[in-house]
Amino acid sequence: MADPAAPPRPAPDPVDARFGSPLTEGLRTYRLVVAMWVRSTLTYRASFAMALCVAVVANGLDFVAILLMFSHVDRLGGFTLGEVAFLYGTSATAFGLAHLTVGSMDRLGRRIRDGSLDTLLVRPVPVLAQLAADRFALRRLGRITQGALVLAYALTVLEIDWTATRLLMVPMMLVSGAALFGALFVAGAVFQFYAQDAAEVQNAFTYGGTTLLQYPPTVFTRELVASVTFVLPLAFVNWVPASYVLDRPLPLGLPVQAAFAPPLVAAVCCVAAGLLWRVGLRAYRSTGS
């Protein structure tokens, strides 16, 4: 290897031959790093179980607030308890899934400040995958569990005329919703490339977004509903498709076809977030901070 008489290496390098495309390497790295954190978390089973219970209870209190509200009124913005529980359950579960998979992105600002982002940039795998998998917190399953319980409650009390389309709509909402929130986490992280203490702003949109969606669109002003439909399309997480499932008119008088748009909207948002991420990372690499 160190023989000075050896000719320069031929073109197709054996080192590069070991690696796949950036997407393959990114997904693989994500899996590897997540698996490592999960193993490390499960080393302390008791402490993990406790953290998970705390997460379920703490998030559960959130829904208790809604229950308390319904002890005084029968309807909220024209929605029954079951219907609000449906909105709550879909929003919380979709957000929980995104929070679990890419919620660590909000540490980007701190990593830029302390310079540790550079250590990710010298590894042969996409930074986004490394950052998303970093400190993967299994206790975030607590939020998903709580959201799923509320959703299950909603599905038992609601008297819905279950057609195949309505039935398929529920998992579709959760997957698209998780992708939408995931895109929001990534886009929010990009913001931290430019303003390094912007984690709070990001939280306002992500955590704030999920809280907003837990209430019926009818309690908010038309302008607010329009902005979360057309500007930051969070309404596609549940408000728009849920209206179809609950057999209600769509918000803003949208045509019924809009209820089937979430997968498309989510895909567009993910691509946009990915492009934004590239722009942000490029900006970081040309300025250093």
Partner 1 sequence: MDATERPVADLPAQRDGQEVIHLDRVEKVFEVRRRAGLLRREKREVRAVDGLSFSVGRGEVVGFVGPNGAGKSTTIKMLTGILTPSAGTLRVAGVEPARDRARLARRIGVVFGQRTTLWWDLPLLDSYQLIHRMYRVPDARYRENLDRCVELLGLGDLLDVPVRQLSLGQRMRGDIAAALLHDPEVLYLDEPTIGLDVVSKANVRHFLADLNAERGTTVLLTTHDLTDIEQLCRRVMVIDHGRLMYDGEVAGLHRIAEVERTLVVDLATEMAPIALESARTVKVEGPRQWLAFPAGQPAAPIVAEIAAGWPLVDLSLREPDIEDVISLMYAGRSAG
Positions in the binding site for partner 1 (CB under 8 A): 1-4, 8-9, 13, 15-16, 18-19, 22, 25, 28-29, 32-33, 36-37, 39-40, 114-116, 118-119, 121-126, 135, 282, 285-288
Give the shortest CB-115-to-partner 1 separation in angstroms: 6
DSSP secondary structure code for residue 19 in this structure? -
Give the shortest CB-153-to-partner 1 separation in angstroms: 37
Nearer Cβ to partner 1 (123/222): 123
Angle between helices 141-157 and 81-102 (to 10 degrees): 160
Nearer Cβ to partner 1 (26/217): 26
Nearer Cβ to partner 1 (38/168): 38
Burial (CB count <10 Å: 0-12, 13-18, 19+), residue 55: buried
Nearer Cβ to partner 1 (118/197): 118
Give the shortest CB-10-to-partner 1 separation in angstroms: 11
| CA–CA distance, 249 with 235 (Å, rounded to integer) | 14
Nearer Cβ to partner 1 (78/124): 124
Give the shortest CB-119-to-partner 1 separation in angstroms: 4
> Which of these, 219, 217, 211, 238, lies nearest to 62 by C-alpha position?
211
Give the shortest CB-27-to-partner 1 separation in angstroms: 13
- Concatenating the DSSP letter of every residue in 108-164 gives HHHHHHHTTHHHHHTSSS-HHHHHHHTT--GGGHHHHHHHHHHHHHHHHH------H
| CA–CA distance, 259 with 262 (Å, rounded to integer) | 7
